[in-house]
Amino acid sequence: MTRIASGKDVSARLDIVVRFWCDHTPRILWEESIVEALHILVEEGVSKFAKELGKSLTLYVAETEKRFKSLLHAFADMDNESMKGA
CA angle 7, 11, 17 (to 5 degrees): 115
Q: What is the pTM of this model?
A: 0.75
| pLDDT score of 1 | 72
Vertex 35 angle, CA 64 and 50, to 5°: 80
C-alpha to C-alpha distances, 58 to 7, 15, 46, 86, nearest whole angstrom = 20, 10, 9, 43
Are 45 and 14 a contacting pair, CB within 8 Å?
yes
pLDDT digits (tens, 9 = 90+) for 15-53: 999 999 999 998 888 888 999 999 999 999 899 889 999
Q: How many CB atoms lie within 10 A of CB 26?
A: 16
